[in-house]
Homo-oligomer: A and B are copies of this chain.
Amino acid sequence: MNRPAGLTADAASGGDRGTGAPAESFGDRLAEHVARRESQIVLGLDPDPARLWPRAFELAAGSGEGSDPAARAARAVAIHCSLVIAAAGEQCVAVKLQVACFERLGAAGWAALAEVVESARAAGLLVIADAKRGDVDVTAEAYAQAYFGATTTPYGVVPGLDVDALTVSPLLGADSLMPFVRVAREVGGGLFVLARTSNPGAVDVQERPLAEGGSVSERLARLIATLGAGGTGMAGLSDVGAVVGATAPGAVRRMRELMPAAPFLLPGVGAQGGKVEELAAAFSPGRAAGLIAASRGIVFAHEAGAATPEGPESAARREAGRLRELAWSLSG
């Protein structure tokens, strides 16, 4: 009921990617976007309603959402995200929407998430939903409907969010990932499967050595490569990618050896300590093979340094541009 007017069932079932004809593969769509925009930067949006750009609060004040805190906060969050996209989107190839930050605002937050998907798409950006979903097959199918597909009901088809890619968790094994692969592939969508995350806790499970040799992460990498084998496009990139933290350059190199065709989504640059300069291995299959996700480093660039005071918009654009040039020259 809160779905924004712009999102029709037709668009949501992948209409603008060519309904009827086989969808262009995610790998090719990604390569084309990266080449056209000359950027591998993913703008991470993880809005905290207590810490939005001041202009978002100003604009939200005039939008008349009544007195419900959830509705008002969700309105401000959606406006904030639109402002960030308008400021820094041109320097980026995609947005990564942190679903948790919308989910905590309930139904109003979910409506705001759908709006931000539309804002990003209107700006020509690919949309990655960072949701890290993962469940048994029948449930994975329901999540795939929520993000890539649609749900058939007696009242008509309910479109999903229609994102370009989704992060998923592989802990439940191959059968839990297959519905995601199938539904995403039908519409030219892609997955980024957790392989080696950017947080310190990655050592607790992912880095453990297996009796058969290699680590849990290395086994996940092989699983990801196998799942993606049937979805490699003309550009040589698969539709099953991997989340590989930018905080462990050695792991990035090893993951690339094991997943030569997987696009890597690389979070952890900036606040978490990852450095773009150390990520060359990610790009070895091609420029679009590595996507550098930056969130707080871009959105709060105006709070860093501050020798010369700068507004959030200008600082975000400058920082996204700096990362873009760094990555582009590294991968050239």
Interface residues of A (CB under 8 A from B): 1-3, 46, 49-50, 57, 65-66, 68-74, 76, 98, 100-101, 103-111, 114, 130, 132-140, 142-143, 145-146, 151-158, 160-161, 169-176, 194, 197-206, 208-212, 216, 219-220, 223
Contacts and interface: CB of A to CB of B under 8 A. Distances in A.
The 8 closest A-B pairs by CB, nearest first: A173-B201, A173-B204, A69-B156, A2-B107, A175-B201, A100-B142, A1-B71, A104-B146
What number of copies of this chain does the assembly contain?
Answer: 2
15 contacts: A1-B70, A2-B2, A49-B158, A69-B153, A70-B158, A72-B155, A100-B139, A100-B143, A103-B146, A104-B143, A107-B108, A107-B110, A132-B133, A136-B198, A136-B199
Contacts of A198: 136
A299 to B, nearest CB: 13
B50 A152 contact: yes
A2 B70 CA distance: 9
A154 B106 contact: no
Contacts of A138: 46
B107 A1 contact: yes
A155 B174 CA distance: 44
Interface centre among A3, A155, A200 (most CB of B within 10 A): A155
B49 A154 contact: yes
A68 B1 contact: yes
Contact of A98 (B142, B156, B200, B203): B142
Contact of A101 (B46, B142, B172, B194): B142
Contacts of A76: 153-155
A70 B109 CA distance: 16
A297 to B, nearest CB: 14
A73 B173 contact: no
Given A69-B157, A210-B210, A133 B100 contact: yes
Contact of A105 (B101, B132, B151, B216): B151
Nearest to A104: B146
